[in-house]
């Protein structure tokens, strides 16, 4: 399958009645990923992103747990998630419609540098995961629709930089960055091993040997430090790798095998739980133009 329509993509793995999801990528803005969706039952598993997550709810309410606290996002709220922050998401009540974007670290850092008038020496950090800001929410919705419809470059550029610059000025620490968590050496070694060997069938005994921690202790210690169990962390790494391969046009069945999933259905389940769309939809709508 080289190309499918949105309807054909969802026909392969239909959403619940009344749900929809539209995904696309803006190559001009460092591959900025965008998602417009309505969910009534779809639930995101706890996961992280290499990018930021920034967007707003346009109807209904989404609840999500982040930084150990449950948040309830409604129209007029801005949602902000930093790279590598564990979060989930599900409908609160009958469902919600939202528009989300996933700006890369280099893109946000460049905008921060423009604000500072000099190169930013650290990665901007949003202090709060959510804020009531109807004015900025409306500006973001306009930007998102502009990108979806395909406006003129100058109009898109001004809207995109204006929205993210305002968000950084209002809600982010630009410099200095907060001190990173001091992970125990064993936990750091487990993380490094999982990143280097994610396509392999890894067992707990191997992680115990790599880290020097007992099997019973390392799971608790790893979750305390990262917010995820080793298996959930490994699954996150595999999904990230799958996204990179799918964006180049690789077939989902091949991606599943290359990224350590048992089969394509295994990939489908975990990919949709973390991305909101199936691998087939992501591949069809997310290819980077040559």
Q: Could you say which of 147, 173, 199 is where a domain stops?
A: 173
Instruction: Determine contact, residues 96/21, Cβ cutoff 8 Å.
Output: no
- Residue 8's pLDDT is 35
Say whether both 142 and 243 belong to one domain.
no
Predicted confidence at residue 145, as pLDDT, reads: 95
* Integer Cα distance of 217 and 264 in angstroms: 33
Same domain, 193 and 237: yes
- Residue 25 makes CB contacts below 8 A (sequence gap 6+) with 31, 32, 33, 34, 247, 285, 286, 287, 288
Residue 180 lies inside a defined structural domain of this protein: no
Same domain? For 148 and 267 the reply is no
Q: For the chain, how many structural domains are there in total?
A: 2
Please give the chain's pLDDT, 290 residues, in tens.
233 333 333 333 345 677 888 999 999 899 999 999 999 998 898 999 999 999 999 999 999 999 989 999 999 999 999 999 999 999 999 999 999 999 999 999 999 988 888 888 889 999 999 999 999 999 999 999 999 988 678 888 889 999 999 999 999 998 764 444 434 688 889 999 999 999 998 888 888 889 888 776 788 788 888 888 888 899 999 999 999 999 899 999 999 999 999 888 999 999 988 888 889 888 887 654 32
Least Cα distance to 12 among 205, 188, 271 occurs for 271
Q: Does residue 40 belong to any structural domain of this protein?
A: yes
Return the CATH number at 234: 1.10.10.60
Considering the domain architecture, whether residues 189 and 169 belong to the same structural domain is answered as no
Q: Which H/E stretch holds residue 155?
A: helix 153-171
Contact 172, 112 (CB under 8 A): yes
Q: Are residues 119 and 237 in the same domain?
A: no
Domain boundary among 143, 173, 203: 173
Identify whether 82 is part of a domain.
Answer: yes
CATH number of the domain encompassing residue 124: 2.60.120.280
Residue 167 lies in a domain: yes
Query: Is residue 165 domain-shared with residue 240, that is, in the same domain?
Result: no
Q: Does residue 143 share a domain with residue 202?
A: no
Pair 71, 105 in one domain: yes
Predicted local confidence at residue 115, as pLDDT: 87
- CA–centroid distance for 197 within its chain: 22
Do 122 and 240 share a domain, yes or no?
A: no
Look at residue 204 in the predicted model and tell me its pLDDT. 82
274: Cβ–Cβ under 8 A, 6 or more apart, which residues?
44, 45, 47, 236, 239
141 part of a folded domain:
yes
The per-residue pLDDT for 114 is 86
233 within some domain: yes
- The answer to whether residue 179 is domain-embedded is no
Name the domain boundary from 153, 173, 193: 173
211 & 108 share domain: no
pLDDT of residue 286: 62
pLDDT number for residue 55: 97
Domain hosting 99: range is 6-173
Q: For residue 176, what are the contacts with CB-CB under 8 A and spacing of at least 6?
A: 121, 122
Residues 28 and 167 in one domain: yes
Residue 93, domain member (yes or no): yes
* CA separation for the pair 263, 273 (Å, rounded): 16
Structure tokens at 169: 């000025």
> Do 162 and 211 share a domain, yes or no?
no
């Amino acid at each position: 399958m080289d190309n499918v329509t949105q309807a054909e993509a969802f026909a392969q793995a239909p959403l619940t009645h009344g749900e929809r999801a539209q995904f696309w990528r803006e190559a001009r803005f460092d591959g900025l990923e965008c998602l417009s969706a309505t969910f009534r039952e779809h639930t995101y598993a706890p996961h992280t992103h290499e990018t930021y997550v920034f967007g707003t709810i346009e109807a209904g309410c989404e609840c999500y747990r982040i930084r150990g606290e449950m948040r309830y996002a409604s129209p007029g709220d801005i949602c902000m998630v930093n790279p590598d922050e564990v979060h989930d998401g599900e409908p609160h009540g009958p469902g919600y419609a939202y528009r989300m974007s996933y700006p890369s670290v280099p893109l946000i850092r460049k905008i921060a540098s423009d604000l500072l008038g000099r190169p930013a020496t650290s990665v901007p950090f949003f202090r709060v995961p959510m804020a009531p800001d109807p004015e900025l929410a409306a500006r973001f919705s306009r930007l998102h629709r502009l990108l979806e419809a395909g406006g003129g470059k100058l109009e898109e550029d001004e809207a995109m930089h204006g929205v993210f610059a305002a968000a950084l000025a209002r809600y982010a620490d630009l410099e200095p960055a907060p001190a990173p968590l001091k992970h125990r050496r064993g936990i750091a070694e487990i993380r490094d091993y999982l990143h280097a060997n994610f396509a392999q069938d890894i067992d707990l005994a191997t992680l115990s040997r790599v880290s020097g921690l007992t099997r019973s202790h390392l799971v608790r210690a790893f979750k305390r430090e990262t917010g995820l169990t080793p298996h959930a962390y490994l699954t996150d790494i595999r999904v990230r790798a799958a996204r990179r391969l799918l964006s180049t046009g690789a077939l989902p069945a091949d991606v599943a095998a290359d990224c350590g999933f048992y089969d394509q259905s295994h990939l489908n389940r975990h990919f949709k739980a973390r991305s909101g769309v199936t691998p087939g939809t992501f591949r069809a709508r997310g290819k980077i133009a040559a």
